[in-house]
Amino acid sequence: MTTFGWVAGMRDPPWQWDLRRLGWSLCGGRGGLRAECRHVLLADARELSHAEREGMAEADRPAWRLLMLGIEEPAERAALLTLGCAEALPATVGLRELEARAHRVDEMFGMLPRWRSLGPLTLDLFHRDARRGGRWLALHPREFGVLWRLADNAGQRVTRVQLLRDVWRLNHEPETNSVEVHISRLRSKLAEFGCEGLVATDPRGGYRLYADRMFLLDDAVAEEDALDAYLRRNALWQAEAELEDG
């Protein structure tokens, strides 16, 4: 079942835009934060000012998951697409067309495993960085590569040789401690964001993600991403208690 989120002052999408009529599932968000979830977001922009619409589109970068509805002027639709909207559509868009466009955006998410969640962290393959809430860790490309590779088989050992092959693209072991240096730097950055202990040294050699630590971190209160923060800051979001519907 395909999932979508809804951004508006009302709890549910109106009949003419409700993709549940075509078999979709409406997501209630993660800890009350709908934009934190990784799927298509429909946004009712009819009551928003031009500046509010632009701000929402810019806040969603680099995700490009927003389908903004109720944009009547072609020039404004073009501007919003440039700013970061996946789609900007007039209020008269039919449900079948809306579904087709939503499917296209959803399929783009599925082309690559762009996002991975490690407890409170989100790994973004396109951005080649990890973030906690709206804060990026500013990982070096190889630090990110190591974390992404460890996440391929979370909790399982990845040897130094495997890291050199898959992250450094080397088929031999160089006489350097580059892997150890990058692991050390990665751990330091993770610790700064409250994720110390996530990367463990395996007793047999190599490294793994510490699964117990991941689950513990995942129990932490969800942090806002940039879009959630923008919506709350500008009072464009429902009360959190009303959003926690699954």
Instruction: Tell me the pLDDT of the chain averaged across its residues.
Output: 83
pLDDT of residue 211: 63
pLDDT over 70 at 221, yes or no: no
One domain for residues 56 and 84: yes
> Do 133 and 108 belong to one domain?
no
pLDDT value at residue 237: 56
Q: Tokens at residue 135, please?
A: 């804060």
Q: What pLDDT, on the 0 to 100 scale, is given for residue 219?
A: 44
Task: Tell me: cis bond preceding 113? Omega within 30 of 0 counts.
Answer: no
Sheet holding 87-89, edge to edge: 25-26, 3-7, 40-44, 66-69, 87-89
Region for residue 7 given its phi and psi (left: phi exceeds 0; alpha: psi -120 to 50; beta: otherwise)? beta
Question: CATH number for the domain including 205?
Answer: 1.10.10.10
Q: Which two tokens stand for residue 47?
A: 């009551």
Do residues 109 and 231 share a domain?
yes
pLDDT tens per residue, range 118-170: 878 888 887 789 988 778 899 999 999 999 999 988 889 999 999 999 999 88
125 with 200, same domain? Answer: yes
How far apart are alpha carbons 26 and 245 in whole angstroms? Answer: 9
The encoded tokens of residue 132 equal: 């906690």
Q: Which two tokens stand for residue 110?
A: 């599925």
30 with 74, same domain? yes
CA atoms of 191 and 173, how far apart (whole Å): 28
| Listed range (16-20, 30-34, 209-213, 215-219) with the worst mean pLDDT | 215-219
Radius of gyration of the chain from Cα atoms? 20
Number of Cβ within 10 Å of residue 201's Cβ equals 14
Do residues 38 and 91 share a domain?
A: yes
Does the structure show a pLDDT above 90 at 244? no
Q: What is the pLDDT of residue 182?
A: 96
Regarding whether 86 and 127 lie in a shared domain, the answer is: no
Task: Assign residue 37 the CATH number of its domain.
Answer: 3.40.50
183-204 pLDDT, tens per residue? 999 999 999 988 888 999 999 9
Q: Within this chain, do residues 165 and 189 fall inside the same structural domain, yes or no? A: yes
Range of the domain at 27: 3-113+225-243
The position carrying tokens 């962290």 is 121
- pLDDT bin (cut points 50, 70, 90) of residue 46 is very high
Q: What percent of the chain has pLDDT over 70?
A: 81
State the pLDDT confidence band at 175, using cuts at 50, 70 and 90. confident
130 & 202 share domain: yes
Pair (125, 165) in one structural domain = yes
Task: Flag whether pLDDT at 180 surpasses 50.
Answer: yes
Length of the chain: 246
Reported in sequence order, the residue ranges of 65-176 that DSSP labels E, i.e. its strands, are 66-69, 87-89, 115-118, 121-124, 129-132, 135-136
How far apart CA 217 and CA 220 sit, in angstroms, is 5
Q: Let me know whether 85 and 162 are in one domain.
A: no
Quick check: 202 and 150 in contact, CB under 8 A?
Answer: no
Residues 214 and 229 in one domain: no
What's the burial of 176, exposed, middle or buried (CB within 10 Å: 0-12/13-18/19+)? exposed
pLDDT score at 16: 96
Closest CA to 42 of 61, 26, 58, 55: 26
| Domain count along the chain | 2
Of residues 231 and 37, the one with the higher pLDDT is: 231
